[in-house]
Amino acid sequence: MQPFTGSFTQQEALDDTVIAAAAEILRSGRLHRYNTAAGELSKASELEQAYALYQGARYCLACASGGYAMAIALRAAGLAQGESVLTNAFTLAPVPGAIASAGGKPVLVEITEELVIDLDDLERKARATGARFLLLSNMRGHLADMDRLADLVRHYEMILIEDCAHTMGAAWNGRKSGNFGLAGCFSTQTYKHLNSGEGGLLTSDDPDFMARAILLSGSYMLYERHGAAPSPEIFERVRLETPNMSGRMDNLRAAILLPQLERLESSIARWNERYRAVEDGLSAVGGLVLPRRPEAERYVGSSIQFRLPGLSRSRSEAFVAACRALGVELKWFGAPDPVAFTSTHHSWKYVDPQLLPETDHVLSTLFDMRLPLTFSVDDCRHIAAIIAHCARDAASSTPEVAAAPRSVLAGE
């Protein structure tokens, strides 16, 4: 098998349009979002207007990161210290981290074999805890049945905030991810769908909520310079009682995001072409399970996940190593320790330990892989062939012990 030689962390170069936009800001010296001439709209405000229009939301705030957007969304929505916040057990560390930084207590909800929040467990825990908040993580770009989820949110009178770091541009029955609750939180970190190194966007249709979020982000009393914000009289009600928790986006990052936003739909089409090439190459591999993509879901395939149920821990480790030897970098969510960006609820020691047998069962043989746009479609076919080859080898060896839930493997 010919090894793959591409890089799984190399993103596309930013083109001359983006570089020119950055150079214009650098030449001006006015990187701070409020350093504007009279009557001028800053690049940060221009980005907020453009993204609000793309998202179909009334308001948008550009901030320092997606994690920061989640934390101030919870604060702006009225989260009290020590209050429970429901969230998926399968997510990345910034999600429970945002809950903790806002003073909340994460209550983890099981996931299904389709890698989405288990709506039956969500209902059980909503009823048992009386939690007012659901921070929904659309982890790795997978959307739950958003119609049913929205019904549950209404029935239990919960406040829904969506983590859309992996679903920028995705939709359910034509309704964009981020538009199902009070707020949507987006990331523009390098490995997301727009690249500014770090950055975040917060959207909402609620004027009081967004006024508080803008003040929390560190607007001082310059909120009238925002281009996608509520009217000044809304701010008058909360401007002196809302703390400044500085986390603004600067004009340089906003300037390099604007040209990328114009091309986002084209990028989504390219990601999905690559996703389908890998999906097609893996679909006939016996024992390999791909998540089902519902017809109602418009996804963005910037990464792909699959499971190899029945593999032992040692065979899973061997499978990852075999793929790596042929140049394919996989993340395994059954690993006993967090690796780089990948962790599970057992690693979040600031979260109360919780029994999540279904989640542990799914994660024990779950593998994950980025699909950067630097890969060609042929590259993706090559990668799929390598994974298929290594998966068949792994399946042909009878493991001594089937993969156990993480709680067993970690001795917890």
The Cα angle at residue 186 between residues 101 and 109, in degrees rounded to 5: 60
Asked whether the beta carbons of 310 and 399 are under 8 A apart, the reply is: yes
Write out pLDDT tens, residues 374-399.
999 999 999 999 999 999 999 886 44
Q: How confident is the model at residue 407 (pLDDT cuts 50, 70, 90)?
A: very low
Average pLDDT over residues 224-240: 95
Residue 161 pLDDT exceeds 80: yes
- Residues whose CB is less than 8 angstroms from the CB of residue 18 and which lie 6 or more positions away in sequence, other chains included: 256, 259, 260
Nearest partner of 220 among 252, 199, 254, 243, judged by Cα? 243
Write out pLDDT tens, residues 30-78.
999 999 988 899 999 999 999 999 999 999 999 999 999 999 999 999 9
Which pLDDT score, from 0 to 100, does residue 340 have? Answer: 82
Q: In this structure, which amino acid lies at residue 394?
A: A
Residue 5 pLDDT exceeds 90: yes
Measure the CA–CA gap between 412 and 410, rounded to whole angstroms.
Answer: 5
Write out pLDDT tens, residues 137-156.
999 999 999 999 999 999 99
Instruction: Decide if 16-262 and 264-409 have a common fold.
Output: no
CATH class of 16-262: alpha beta
Q: How confident is the model at residue 404 (pLDDT cuts 50, 70, 90)?
A: very low
Which pLDDT score, from 0 to 100, does residue 410 have? Answer: 35
The architecture in CATH of the region 264-409 reads: Alpha-Beta Complex (3.90)
Q: 3-state DSSP call for residue 17?
A: helix
CA 236 to chain CA centroid, nearest Å:
33
Measure the CA–CA gap between 116 and 16, rounded to whole angstroms.
Answer: 39
Nearest partner of 46 among 361, 312, 259, 282, judged by Cα? 259
> Residues 41-46: contacts with CB within 8 Å, 24+ apart?
41/225, 41/227, 42/225, 42/251, 42/254, 43/251, 43/252, 43/254, 43/255, 43/258, 44/248, 44/249, 44/250, 44/251, 44/254, 45/225, 45/226, 45/227, 45/228, 46/227, 46/254, 46/258
Is residue 353 left, alpha or beta, with left meaning phi > 0 and alpha meaning psi from -120 to 50?
beta
- What's the distance, Cα to Cα, between the start and end of the chain in Å? 39
Tokens 């800001």: give the residue. 25
User: What is the crossing angle of helices 66-76 and 94-101, to 10°?
Assistant: 40
Average pLDDT over residues 238-258: 97
Q: In this structure, which amino acid lies at residue 139?
A: M
* Token reading at 206: 């609620």
Give the bridge partners for 126, in sequence order.
none
Measure the CA–CA gap between 229 and 285, rounded to whole angstroms.
Answer: 51
Relative to beta strand 366-370, strand 331-332 is antiparallel
Model confidence, pTM: 0.94
- Domain coordinates in residue numbering, the chain: 16-262, 264-409
Nearest partner of 98 among 129, 130, 131, 76, judged by Cα? 76
Asked whether the beta carbons of 133 and 79 are under 8 A apart, the reply is: yes
CB atoms within 10 A of CB 157: 9
Write out pLDDT tens, residues 87-130.
999 999 999 999 999 999 999 999 999 999 999 999 999 999 99
Residue 178 or residue 397, greater confidence: 178
DSSP state of 340: T
Give the bridge partners for 105, in sequence order.
84
Nearest partner of 316 among 330, 305, 327, judged by Cα? 330
Which pLDDT score, from 0 to 100, does residue 362 have? Answer: 97
φ, ψ for residue 340 (rounded to 5)? 50, -120
DSSP state of 342: B
Measure the CA–CA gap between 91 and 136, rounded to whole angstroms.
Answer: 9
- Residues whose CB is less than 8 angstroms from the CB of residue 194 and which lie 6 or more positions away in sequence, other chains included: 168, 188, 257, 260, 261, 264
Which pLDDT score, from 0 to 100, does residue 403 have? Answer: 45
Nearest partner of 168 among 306, 268, 31, 277, judged by Cα? 268
